[in-house]
Structure 1
Amino acid sequence: MVEMQASIKNLTSQLDQRNAACSADSQSLDQRSEVLITPENSQSQSLKGSSISKYESQSPTAQLDSILEDLIPNRATLERILEYTGGQLHQSWMLQPFSTINIFDNGFLVGSTEKAILFIHEALQSRDVGLVSKCLSWLCLCLSELPKDFRDIETGLPLCPEELINRLLTQISIFYLADCTPACSINSIEALVLQYELFIAIGRPSRAWKCVRAGIDNAMLLGIHTRQSNLYGGLWESLWIRDRQISLILGLPYTTADNFALNTEMDTDPELDALRRIASISGCISDRDRLRQDTSFGTMRRIVEEIKQLKVLIPDERNDSVFTQPVAYSILRLFKHTLNTMIHLPYSQFAGYDKQFEYTRVEVLESAEGAIRAHQDMREMQDTPAKCHLYDFLAFNAAVILITDLAAKETPRSTEEEERIWTVITELVSRLRKTSELLVSETAEQAAEVLENLHRACKGIYRGHEFHKQIPLLGKIQISRATEQHEDVEASTTTVLLETNTYTFRVPDEHLTEKELADDWSAQVTFEMSYGWRGTYEFPDN
């Protein structure tokens, strides 16, 4: 433990010397402040002149009588959407094991398509802006899961769910403003949770973070954080857990202290118990990344002890677990391995010259492979792939960690072991390709391309042009080729450059785009960004 604290100071000193301690210049900060506001503003501006603009002069409640025709698909198409996504969302990666949103019955929308249609009709006729927001948020989540070839039943034309989702979100934001003075209703808070899941699914984690922050603010104004009932307690807990998880991923501080967690001594749900522990560890890692060399011994000890307990609670062998839901079990394994990687990755870079840190590299590599295995299990459990950009990205990030270690050749391996790891990575590429073929998933498509090119580069068979990607939540990856003349022989070499902040103490991205993970990773290469870690690897042509 003392050695780990010493390494924090050492690592922090190195980062400061590289000007990568994330004290960006004032211009970068100003740009980030502008961009944080841009998505909502630009989205509203892009819709000017569309059918939704004609409602701007109406009151929110008056708009309820008008939006049905323009924003809700026709009856035949709506039924087909609900048939395709209703059961799928009930088994969703995102919504399990949270069953706290009181749409109807005692949890998420289940039952017949007719029942779902009735819910939508009654919600839209209720003139309750919070209930309508919840209904439309849930409909957005359904639309996000549609395959590429989904068509309008009446016209036969492509449905274009992304455009429809953007229009619905614009309307939801209008309703939210009408309902949040001084605090919005329970229905609107539940709508924010559903929007969080939507933004996680479509690869906009910063927007998800803003939704959960708004949900927490309003929930505290309503005093929900003090109530222990199943509904209110479950809603508060879903906000508390999500806030800590997404804040860690983004490198941002979480909102609420530990003493805002509910008293759960009588709760025996193993999935929720695991998620609470994951949230607790996420908060500790966020504290460490923020405080760096000033991290207390107590925080470090707590991280070590809690991750040990989490490994026991969430074993990698299905037969050893207490979890009854296979999908939830796979999600929890992905979270567990991602957390363990985040804990040890900053220290693993010392392993090359200080053997006392060798165990951190072992932990990182085992968890990186474990995260990919968990992702594989999730994908194999569904007949039709579910869209979740963030989960695909976490698996991709784990694969980049493995490739970086393979490229550095600092870990002794046999040829057979090295090929086994490459097989794990190439199988992930195949799954990502399959996902992008069936769904509109820019993250999966671009991640597969990056991994394929890294594989070719490491094998000495890359023959493409210069490859340059600026990847949100990861960093910069560049692949280039050079040819040198040695007497009468030409020798070609491929160079791979990786710069990132994820290998150190996590900090927020300096630049955010509207679509975030789903944006074009090549379009951001013109932005000059500083990173805390850099690796360069050369491979001769084969």
Structure 2
Amino acid sequence: MSLTPANRMRLGTRSCAECRRRKVRCVFLPHRKGCESCATHGTPCRTQQPKRRPAVSLQRSEELGGAFRQLPDIAQLGRSSFPDSHSSPSYLSTASSDGAQLHAALDPSDEGIGHLESVPLINLFRDARLIQSIDGSPHKSVPTAGLDVRVQDATRLLMDSVPSQPTLRLILSETNRYWLTWPLCYYGSDTSDFLQPDRVNIAQDFISSALTSLNPSLVAKALLFLCLCIQQLAKQCRARSLLPDRVHSLVESYISIASTLLSIDSEHGGSIDALESRMFLLKICVTTGKPRKAWTTGRSALEAALLLGLHRIDQQSTDRKKKLWRLIWQSDRHLSLLLGLPCAISNTHPGVRNKLGGESIIEQILYECSFLAGAVAERDQEFGMADYAVTVELDRRLQQLQYLFPPSWFHSTTDQEISVDMHYYIQIAMLQYFLLSKHIHLPYMLKSTAEPRFLPSRISTMAASRSIIQAYHQLRDDHRTKSIICELMDFEAFSAAVTLIIGIFSESKGGLRNYAQAAGDWAIVRTCVQTLRRTEQLLECSIARQGAQLLEYLSMAWEGNGDAPERFESIIPFFGKIKINRAAVARTQEWESGRMYPMDDVSMNPPTNARDSSLCYHDSGSQLLWENTIEFSANPSCFDYGADLGGNWQDPVCFGAAYEWTQSFSHVETTDTVAGDMRDWTSTSAP
């Protein structure tokens, strides 16, 4: 065996990679795929491969670093040439070449960060004429192979949960009249290419093609739009029985997959489709009564919108971007006001302060309400230090806003010729106006019993609560909009009714008694109960069901109705606890002097009718009466906010929580008591 090392074979010969590694002769026999040596050793025969090129990201980083290293020379060249108005052709070509290279390095092709051309450093170069503006919108980069795999893995879960084509068409046909009450769903590049009630075929094609694409934002958009449609199906709708799973399970599954896809899209810079998808998700959270999740979703959408540069809209911006930006920041305002949280963007921000003009009456009203909501939320953040004059000024601005409303909108009847979405947005505009009035004065409502200077706030809060229920009833009583699902709106109407009830009871303490007004307010509460009951019958709405039940019990306790439960406790989300108790008391000489003692040891069954309670006697001969006690406690510390508004309000877990404020109202029924008579109610409070 020769000890002389074999000569290294040159790259470019027919040697395979294994023979080159082993430095042996590589012989290919006719009609065989591999060489003789590899066949003998049983190893795969692979051709030699050239060295891998550097990664694209590394190459771009090197280009970027080189461009920045050339900046001092370019700037020096610019300073030496600017005094001369006639620049040489060589300078123009050099500056143009270097500027183009810098622009290519700093301005990626991804749509998500295309607005970064407005950062101060790039503006400096633009002012120095080193960067030329490029017309046209940035294009979305082609997804990488890794991105394709992740999208495929996410969409593979949809194969068994997507409705069949006939079922999909039935779902779209059942819900198409509500599409314009949701965020617009664009399917094309033109500003008019959005789904409308007469475009069911287009909607079906859009969803079917989008769900099979590899664009994560487009898949999420189609999926969440389908989720809204499924969620909107009425209880007795035939399409519900044809779904591959229960509505709740499908919605949760779709949201989970869409959230994964949106996360993938955000890693690559985001897109307008992803922004619209997030607003669909926010709408789903609102309709299911999850304001906290809606708020966090809105914040994510707002951050993505800022990265996309939507806050820099002007008259030249597309109508699609204008409406999307307006929807994002206005939604954040109203959710922040409801939750008592600060707004993401102040009123001084140009994207909020500058009005673009050319808007409809409804758009103007919603803009002004949202703008004022920011000021109210700002006051609430420093309420302990805010002067009452701030509230007075907010109320003055609200009164000026009222002149934008056409007088016909305040009538109980509405035009039957207008479309579903127009009637819906009219009532929503009125609801937002009255909700704003309520939030402005609510902090001072109960303070008026001790300080008369706050009486205007009490009057305004009660009036706003009545108007909220009236607007809610008009929306739910109309055949065009009665089936629109929105559990957050149902909760707002319920909250207005509770505010009315607290206001009625608090009058017994402050001496501000108006019996006729109290009777009218109870009639409004009963109207709210009936509306909530009808909503619960049409739609799957736990908030409407639980809210109607609680309001009924409060009304029974007020009227002395024998059907009221002897003991009832309920936790109201974002408010506190309500406790209703009916206890037996003895009519003795102490009672005649104003003192009452509960008879916990009474060994007889309570009468079925509260009016017969005066005929029952204790063993000692004293007459038995019934004392109704309603207790309100605010600020629960252990409520599970993860469930938001749709949880079980009668879950006993939180009944023993500590509360910052408690107020009780007691009433003793006698043979002389008139149902609903406020004169026999007494009030006690505790910090």
TM-score when scaled to structure 2?
0.64
Tell me the alpha carbon deviations over residues 413-472 of structure 1, each in whole angstroms, 9 at most, x when there is no partner: 665443322221111111111111121100000000000000001112254142111111
Seen in structure 2, the aligned counterparts of structure 1 residues 114 and 108 have a Cα distance that, compared at 3 Å, is: closer
Seen in structure 2, the aligned counterparts of structure 1 residues 531 and 186 have a Cα distance that, compared at 3 Å, is: farther
Q: Cα offset for 1:527?
A: 6.0
Seen in structure 2, the aligned counterparts of structure 1 residues 394 and 318 have a Cα distance that, compared at 3 Å, is: same
Tell me the alpha carbon deviations over residues 289-344 of structure 1, each in whole angstroms, 9 at most, x when there is no partner: 11123337895565233212222223675279999833212111111111111111
Q: Counterparts of 1:266 and 1:202 in 2: how far apart (Å)?
A: 34
Seen in structure 2, the aligned counterparts of structure 1 residues 510 and 270 have a Cα distance that, compared at 3 Å, is: farther
Pick aligned residue for 2:234 from 132, 140, 147: 147
- Amino acid across the alignment from 1:126: S
Aligned position for 1:490 = 624
Aligned position for 2:219 = 132
Q: Counterparts of 2:395 and 2:410 in 1: how far apart (Å)?
A: 25
Q: Cα offset for 1:103?
A: 4.0
Figure out how many residues of one structure are paired with residues of the other and give that number: 473
Q: Counterparts of 2:433 and 2:638 in 1: how far apart (Å)?
A: 27
Q: Counterparts of 1:269 and 1:327 in 2: how far apart (Å)?
A: 15
Q: Cα offset for 1:149?
A: 3.3
Q: Counterparts of 2:432 and 2:320 in 1: how far apart (Å)?
A: 25
Aligned position for 2:438 = 341
2:482 matches 1:381:
no
Aligned position for 1:540 = 668
- Structure 1 window deviating more from structure 2 (429-438 vs 303-312): it is 303-312
- Amino acid across the alignment from 1:239: I
Tell me the alpha carbon deviations over residues 384-424 of structure 1, each in whole angstroms, 9 at most, x when there is no partner: 51111111111111111111122233475665443322221
Q: Counterparts of 1:509 and 1:479 in 2: how far apart (Å)?
A: 20
- Contact 2:195-2:202 within 8 A present in 1 as well: no
- Contact 2:342-2:377 within 8 A present in 1 as well: yes
Q: Counterparts of 1:376 and 1:359 in 2: how far apart (Å)?
A: 26
Which structure would you say has the larger RCO, counting Cα contacts within 8 Å and 6 or more residues apart? Answer: 1
2:161 matches 1:75:
no
Q: Counterparts of 2:382 and 2:504 in 1: how far apart (Å)?
A: 31
- Contact 1:77-1:152 within 8 A present in 2 as well: yes
TM-score when scaled to structure 1?
0.80
Give the gaps of 5 or more residues in structure 2. 1-146, 589-621, 674-687
Tell me the alpha carbon deviations over residues 257-278 of structure 1, each in whole angstroms, 9 at most, x when there is no partner: 2213162242332212111211
Pick aligned residue for 2:573 from 445, 448, 472: 472
2:358 matches 1:271:
no
- Structure 1 window deviating more from structure 2 (137-146 vs 299-308): it is 299-308
Q: Cα offset for 1:210?
A: 1.0
- Contact 2:427-2:475 within 8 A present in 1 as well: yes
Matches within 5 A, 1:434-513: 434-462=534-562, 463-487=564-588, 488-500=622-634, 511-513=639-641
Pick aligned residue for 2:271 from 185, 200, 215: 185
Q: Secondary structure at the match of 1:477?
A: strand
Aligned position for 2:500 = 402
- Amino acid across the alignment from 1:193: M
Aligned position for 1:330 = 427
2:525 matches 1:425:
yes
Q: Secondary structure at the match of 1:484?
A: strand
Q: Cα offset for 1:145?
A: 1.1
Q: Cα offset for 1:279?
A: 1.4
Q: Counterparts of 1:530 and 1:289 in 2: how far apart (Å)?
A: 23
Q: Counterparts of 2:502 and 2:389 in 1: how far apart (Å)?
A: 32
Q: Cα offset for 1:511?
A: 3.8
Q: Root-mean-square deviation (CA), in Å? A: 2.8
Aligned position for 1:87 = 177
Tell me the alpha carbon deviations over residues 134-174 of structure 1, each in whole angstroms, 9 at most, x when there is no partner: 11111111111112234558x76895211100000110111
- Amino acid across the alignment from 2:519: E
Q: Counterparts of 1:58 and 1:520 in 2: how far apart (Å)?
A: 42
- Contact 2:163-2:243 within 8 A present in 1 as well: no
Q: Counterparts of 2:431 and 2:227 in 1: how far apart (Å)?
A: 25
Q: Secondary structure at the match of 1:292?
A: coil
Q: Counterparts of 2:555 and 2:411 in 1: how far apart (Å)?
A: 35
Seen in structure 2, the aligned counterparts of structure 1 residues 106 and 413 have a Cα distance that, compared at 3 Å, is: farther
Tell me the alpha carbon deviations over residues 85-120 of structure 1, each in whole angstroms, 9 at most, x when there is no partner: 121233x3xx3xx65x53454444432432211110
Q: Secondary structure at the match of 1:70?
A: coil
Aligned position for 1:206 = 292
Aligned position for 2:327 = 238
Q: Counterparts of 2:239 and 2:432 in 1: how far apart (Å)?
A: 37
- Structure 1 window deviating more from structure 2 (510-519 vs 443-452): it is 510-519
- Structure 1 window deviating more from structure 2 (289-298 vs 221-230): it is 289-298
Q: Secondary structure at the match of 2:571?
A: strand
Aligned position for 2:383 = 292
- Amino acid across the alignment from 2:160: D
Seen in structure 2, the aligned counterparts of structure 1 residues 514 and 58 have a Cα distance that, compared at 3 Å, is: farther
- Contact 2:446-2:506 within 8 A present in 1 as well: no
- Amino acid across the alignment from 2:460: E
Tell me the alpha carbon deviations over residues 317-372 of structure 1, each in whole angstroms, 9 at most, x when there is no partner: 52799998332121111111111111112112222233222211111111110000
Aligned position for 2:109 = none
Percent identity between matched residues is 26
Q: Cα offset for 1:529?
A: 4.6
Seen in structure 2, the aligned counterparts of structure 1 residues 417 and 476 have a Cα distance that, compared at 3 Å, is: same
- Structure 1 window deviating more from structure 2 (300-309 vs 449-458): it is 300-309
Seen in structure 2, the aligned counterparts of structure 1 residues 131 and 61 have a Cα distance that, compared at 3 Å, is: same
- Amino acid across the alignment from 1:183: G
Seen in structure 2, the aligned counterparts of structure 1 residues 404 and 315 have a Cα distance that, compared at 3 Å, is: farther
Seen in structure 2, the aligned counterparts of structure 1 residues 304 and 486 have a Cα distance that, compared at 3 Å, is: closer
